[in-house]
Amino acid sequence: MTESSIDTPPHNPATDRSGEPPRAKSLAPLKQLLGFLWPHKGRMIAAGTALVFTAGAQLTLGYGVKILIDEGFAGADASGLYKAVTFILVIGIAMAIGAMTRFYLVSWLGERVSADLRSAVFNNLVHMQPSYFESNHSGEIMSRLTTDTTLLQTLIGSSVSLAVRNALTLTGALTLMVITNVKLSLVILIAVPVTLLPILIFGRRVRKLSNKSQQAIAEVGSHAGEIFQSIKVVQSFNREVAEKTAFGRDVEQAFVVARSRVLQRALLAGFAIFLLMGGMVSMMWSGGVDVIEGRMTGGELGAFVFYAIMVGTAFATLSEVWGDLQRAAGAAERLMELLAETSEIPDTGTQTPANNTELVFEGVHFAYPSRPTHPALSSFTLEIAHGESVALVGPSGAGKSTVFELMLRFYDPIAGAIRFGGEDLREMPLDSWRQKIALVPQQPTLFSGDIFYNIAYGANEPTQAAVEAAAHMAHAHEFIQTLPEGYQSHLGAQGVRLSGGQRQRIALARAILSDSELLLLDEATSALDTESEWHVQQALTDIMQKRTTIIIAHRLSTVINADRIVVMDEGRVIDSGPHDELMTRCELYQRLARLQFQTEQAP
């Protein structure tokens, strides 16, 4: 009973932050966890054995109490006492070894299974189509990966063992109690539920309040987080005092909830002690009368009291664990949902993609899943020869970036097809198709590693020389060298330690290094100054010689060097041709070009 305290679920901040995670109605989802436990069946058996062994030892302790009182204290000499104490010592050592083994094995299982679950969920989600993460907030997924797996870790690592152990001791102690004294047992069997019922009701109220209190604290945390993230805006508008007041209000609210929880807890503790002591006293009284009248020995009464305490504790623990089981079932259900997700972009193709061949968009029709009635591309038809450089121009929202998204198969067309060398992209394995493409996205994405890591991200085992060559071409080498740690400089989360134009050049170097057959540049030089852009243009001209390149750009200077310019509007190709031709016949292009020249000429 004292040892059960090692197994009490640890106070877990991850669970606390989001308040009470919803409970499942049934425990059925827990069955699916068996798949994760099965590989460790050997340890499970060992843990089970240790558990039964410890519970058995604990029950035998009651007999130790009996002989201690009857033969030890009441005996003629110390030999009885010696015998009783030795017995209790041996049982104590057995319990210690058993509990140690059980605790290690069971906790190991909990940690192992939750680690396996985390990896399994991540490994599954990393293949999901990108739109999945638009409708499922990454924060929510992350909390499932941490909070829910931690709940299951607690479940396997302690709750289950606690439940089994207490069920065993409950049955064992009950049986031994009845064997020791039937009349007293009946008294106890009625008294225990009567005593525990109000305690349980009180306990539930306390639990509700502590969930509320956790939620209040979570709000305090997220409030502070938001303020610190936007600290520049807060300070620039002189909002410090207002924010202090608002934060103080949140903190006070959390305190009020916490205070009423603490009050309930105090009442619960007092109430529980009073009821338990009352029960004990009446048990001692009626048992004591029996002892005085010779109907039972003092030792039997001692053992009986020992078992009664065991029954009470086991009963209380089991009712606690029930709530844990429900919570864990909820967590398991949500995790299994994540594990069952499959990507909407089927990766079933088997054709090896051809090399150095043409890319064709054949009447492609597409609308984003979140806006099914608003087509982003309609009857989009375009042929791009191998080695050709094509510029996509058009007003914002024309569907230019969408063309890239479909090429990369982040989405599949609703109608029509994209073919490479005559083969539909869907007929090819995703990875071998994507390997042919290097993308510089509209928003350059950097990871929180160093510069070398970020440039080398898409390449297989690149050398320092190769990385530096790519950086040279992207016109990034100079500024990288001025950083204190050069290529080993860390960039902070999402590359916050670089300027917009520097980030863009790193992204460009990454694409250059990956040396892919198709190069997709989405506004890849939009954040560069005119001089750097000119240098990057020169480098790109070389690179574009050898591969098919599609460039999206708003600046005419970028577009003008392309072999062909494709004008897009509202998801369609309006016209295509070289700059001069388009200037004479395409009204939209003239408009775009005119405005562009004006802005470029402005100081």
Ligand X SMILES: Nc1ncnc2c1ncn2[C@@H]1O[C@H](COP(=O)(O)OP(=O)(O)OP(=O)(O)O)[C@@H](O)[C@H]1O
> Residue numbers of the site for ligand X (CB under 6 A)?
134, 368, 370-371, 376, 394, 396-402, 442
Residue 509 binds which of ligand X, Mg ion, none (CB < 5-8 A, kind-dependent): none
Q: Which is nearer to ligand X, 400 or 477 (CB)?
A: 400
The DSSP line for 268-287 is HHHHHHHHHHHHHHHHHHHH
C-alpha dihedral, 377 to 380 to 384 to 390, nearest 10°: -50
Q: Which residue is nearest to Mg ion (CB)?
A: 401
Q: Which does 11 bind (CB under 5 to 8 A by kind): Mg ion, ligand X, none?
A: none
Minimum distance from CB of 49 to ligand X (Å)?
Answer: 55
Binding mask 39-78 for Mg ion (x = CB under 5 A): ----------------------------------------
Q: Is the dihedral of CA 362, 368, 373, 377 positive or negative?
A: negative
Q: What is the DSSP string of 56-106?
A: HHHHHHHHHHHHIIIIIISSSSHHHHHHHHHHHHHHHHHHHHHHHHHHHHH
Q: Which of 87, 12, 307, 99 is nearest to 188 (CA)?
A: 307
Measured from the CB of residue 553, what is the shortest distance to Mg ion in angstroms? 10
Binding flag, residue 402, Mg ion (CB under 5 A): no
The listed partner (ligand X, Mg ion, none) that binds 501, CB under 5 to 8 Å by sort, is none
For residues 24 and 519, which CB has a smaller minimum distance to ligand X in the complex? Answer: 519
**Subset of residues 125 to 154 that bind Mg ion, contact rule: CB under 5 A:** none
Phi-psi map region of 602: left, alpha, beta (phi>0 left; psi -120 to 50 alpha): beta
What's the Cα-to-Cα distance from 404 to each of 262, 266, 375, 409, rounded to whole Å? 58, 63, 15, 8
CB of 600 to ligand X, least distance (A): 17
Residue 601 touches which member of ligand X, Mg ion, none, C-beta under 5-8 Å by kind: none
Q: Which does 397 bind (CB under 5 to 8 A by kind): Mg ion, ligand X, none?
A: ligand X
To Mg ion, the closest distance from the beta carbon of 397 in angstroms equals 8
Q: Which is nearer to ligand X, 102 or 400 (CB)?
A: 400
Contact criterion met (CB below 8 Å) for 303 and 63: yes
Shortest Å, Cβ 534 to Mg ion: 23
CA 96 to CA 92: how far, in whole Å? 6
Q: Are 358 and 383 in contact (CB under 8 A)?
A: yes
Residue 489, helix vs strand vs coil: coil
> What is the chain's alpha carbon radius of gyration, rounded to the nearest angstrom?
36
- Of 401, 525, 548, 576, which one interacts with Mg ion (CB under 5 A)? 401
Q: Closest approach of Cβ 596 to Mg ion, in Å? A: 16
Which region, left, alpha or beta, applies to residue 196 given φ > 0 means left and ψ of -120 to 50 means alpha? alpha
- Least gap, CB of 262 to ligand X (angstroms): 48
Smallest distance, Å, CB 237 to ligand X? 29
The tokens for 496 are: 């916050």
Q: Which does 29 bind (CB under 5 to 8 A by kind): ligand X, Mg ion, none?
A: none
| DSSP helix/strand/coil, 485 | coil
Taking the least distance from each CB to ligand X, the nearer of 206 and 345 is 345
Q: Which does 245 bind (CB under 5 to 8 A by kind): Mg ion, ligand X, none?
A: none
> x/- site string to Mg ion, residues 343 to 382, per CB under 5 A?
----------------------------------------
Distance CA 146, CA 144 (A): 5
> Which of the stretches 48-56, 159-167, 251-259, 397-405 binds Mg ion when contact is defined by CB under 5 A?
397-405
Give the separation between CA 102 and CA 97, rounded to whole angstroms: 9
Residue 532 binds: one of ligand X, Mg ion, none (C-beta under 5 to 8 A by kind): none
Alpha helices in 456-578 (DSSP H): 464-473, 477-482, 500-514, 530-546, 556-559
Residues that bind Mg ion in the complex, under the rule CB under 5 A:
401, 442
